[in-house]
Amino acid sequence: MLIQRGGLKVVAGLGISGVAAVNFLHDQGYRVAVTDSRATPPGHDQIPAEVQTSFGKFDQNLLLSAEEIIISPGLDPKLPEIQAALDQGIPVVSEIQILRRATDKPIVAITGSNAKSTVTTLIGLMAANAGKKVAVGGNLGRPALDLTKDDPELYILELSSFQLETTSNLQAEVAVVLNMSEDHLDRHGDMMGYHTAKHRIFQGVKKVVFNRDDSLTRPLVPDATPMQSFGLNAPDINQYGILKDKDGTIWLARGRERLLKSSDMYIQGTHNVANALACLALGEAIGLPMDVMLDTLKTFKGLEHRCEFVKEVNGVRYYNDSKGTNIGATLAALDGLGMAIEAQGGKVAIILGGQGKGQDFSALRDSLSKYAKIAVLIGVDRPIIEKAIAGTTELVHAESLQEAVEICQKRTQAHDVVLLSPACASFDMFSGYPERGRKFVAYVNELN
C-alpha cells in the first residue's frame, strides 16, 4: 500500500497527457482524482481503480476540494470551473510543472509556431547518437510524465503555448522559441497573449537560443545569460547561419567556418536549413560533439506530414506538408521549396484550404505571387481564402483532395513542385492532419 501524501491532486481533462499525469501522481503516492466533461473520455480505462473519477461534466465541487489542479493542455484555463478554483487560490499547473518538480535532470525546451516537432526529433537523435540517455516527448509523441519511466540523463521537450501558459520557472538548461506567427488566437486572444505564453519557456533559463530572422523570438533575460542565435544569413563569430559560394552552394556555418553543404541533407528547403541550424545551436549548448551532430544531419529523413518528400512523377516532385495547419507553416514550405527550385525555372502548385481558424490569409499573397503557378482550394473556408489571395496566381476550386491532386498533375511540368500545405485545420473533411496527409500520399502514389 502506498503511503498517501498531502492533499488531493485533481487532473482536469483526460486524454494522453491526463492519463500520464494521473498514473505518475498515483505512483508517487498522492491522492488523485480526475474529472472530464466527456462521459467516456479517451484513456478512462488506463487509470488505477483507486483513482476517483467524475465524468460527463467538469465536477466543480471536486475541483474546489483540490490542493492543486493539473490541467490538460487541451483545456482552456479560462473555463468557468477552472476560474472558480483559481479565485479560491487553488494552483492550476501543467503536467510540465509536475515534471520539473520531479526531476533535477537538464531539460532542453523547444517551442515555436512551426517546426517544433522536426527540431525536437532531430536534436533528440543528435543527443542519442552522441551517447546520451535521452527522453524525447512533451507535445510530440510521448507525454512528458511518461518519460520519467526511462530515468534519462536529459529531457528534450516540445512544448506548446497551451502547456506553457500553466508552467512557471521551468529552469531549462537551454530554451528556444523557433519562430512566431499567428496561431491559436482563438485561445490566446491576440498575438500579445500568444507571445506571452510562448516566452514563459525562458523563465529561469540557463542558456538561450533565438532566431535572428524573427525578433519576436528574442527573450528579455538577464544580461549574464549566454545567448546564441541562428538565422538564414552570414553569421557573426560564434553564431550559426549560412554562407554562400559564388556558384550558389549554400553552407551551414558557425561564424566563418563552413560546416555542411545544405545539399548534403535529405531535408530540403530553406526552412529546414533554419531547423538544422537551430539544432546545432541547441546541441552546442548541451555539449554535443559537432561531428556527431553533422553526421545526424546527413542521415535525417524528416518527419511524416512535415514537408515530407513523397515521390517524383515525370520530373515533378510531390511534398506532403499536411502538418501545415497555419499560415506560418505554409509560408515556410512555400518559400523554402519555391526558393530552392527558382533557379531551374520551377514553380509550385499548392493545395490550400480547410478550416481557417480566423487567420488572415492575405499574409500568403507575396509568396504566392512569387512562387506559385496555381493554388487549388479545398474545404469549407475556400471563399474566405479566395477573397484574401485573389489576383496573386491562378485559383481553382476542387471538391475533393483527389481532384486537387489531379488538377496539380495536369498543370505542372518538369522542375515544378506540388505541395500540400493547406494552412488550415482539416476537421471539415478528415479526422485530422495525419489522415489528410496519408490520403494525399495515396493519391500521389496512384499517379503515373
Spell out the domains of the chain, with CATH numbers in brackets.
5-92 (3.40.50.720), 98-299 (3.40.1190.10), 308-446 (3.90.190.20)
| Statement: residue 46 has pLDDT above 60 | yes
Pairing state between β 250-254 and 257-261: antiparallel
Question: Of these residues, 116, 188, 199, 373, which one is catalytic?
Answer: 116
DSSP state of 425: B
pLDDT at 5: 59
Q: Is 116 annotated as catalytic?
A: yes
pLDDT at 34: 98
Question: Of these residues, 44, 105, 184, 206, which one is catalytic?
Answer: 184
Average pLDDT of the segment spanning 190-197 = 79
- The tens digit of pLDDT for each residue in 324-379 reads 999 999 999 999 899 888 878 999 999 999 999 999 999 999 999 999 999 999 99
DSSP state of 107: E
Distance CA 246, CA 199 (A): 39
pLDDT at 247: 85
Q: How many CB atoms lie within 10 A of CB 315?
A: 11
C-alpha cell at 234: 552570414
Contact 114, 178 (CB under 8 A): yes
Q: Three-state SS for 288? A: coil
Annotated binding site: 112-118
pLDDT at 343: 75
Distance CA 341, CA 201 (A): 36
Distance CA 319, CA 337 (A): 9
- The tens digit of pLDDT for each residue in 301-325 reads 888 898 888 999 999 999 999 999 9
Beta-carbon contacts of residue 331 (< 8 Å; ≥ 6 apart): 181, 363, 364, 367
**Concatenated DSSP letters for 347-371?**
-EEEEE-SB-TT--GGGGHHHHHHH
Lowest mean pLDDT among 104-113, 332-341, 419-428: 332-341
Q: pLDDT band at residue 2, thresholds of 50, 70 and 90? A: very low
What's the mean per-residue pLDDT of the chain? 94
- The tens digit of pLDDT for each residue in 201-236 reads 999 999 999 999 999 899 999 999 999 999 999 999
pLDDT at 183: 61
| Statement: residue 241 has pLDDT above 60 | yes
Contact 373, 440 (CB under 8 A): no
- The tens digit of pLDDT for each residue in 250-307 reads 999 999 999 999 988 988 888 899 999 999 999 999 999 999 999 999 999 888 898 8
pLDDT at 184: 55
Residue type, position 447, single letter: L
Which residue from 100, 119, 128 is spatially nearest to 24, judged by alpha carbons?
Answer: 100
pLDDT at 3: 47
pLDDT at 180: 84
Contact 6, 62 (CB under 8 A): no
How many Å is the maximal CA-CA distance in the chain?
71
pLDDT at 185: 59
C-alpha cell at 147: 518519460
Question: Of these residues, 9, 23, 26, 139, which one is catalytic?
Answer: 139
Annotated binding site for ATP: 112-118
Which residue from 16, 20, 230, 261 is spatially nearest to 112, judged by alpha carbons?
Answer: 230
Q: pLDDT band at residue 113, thresholds of 50, 70 and 90? A: confident
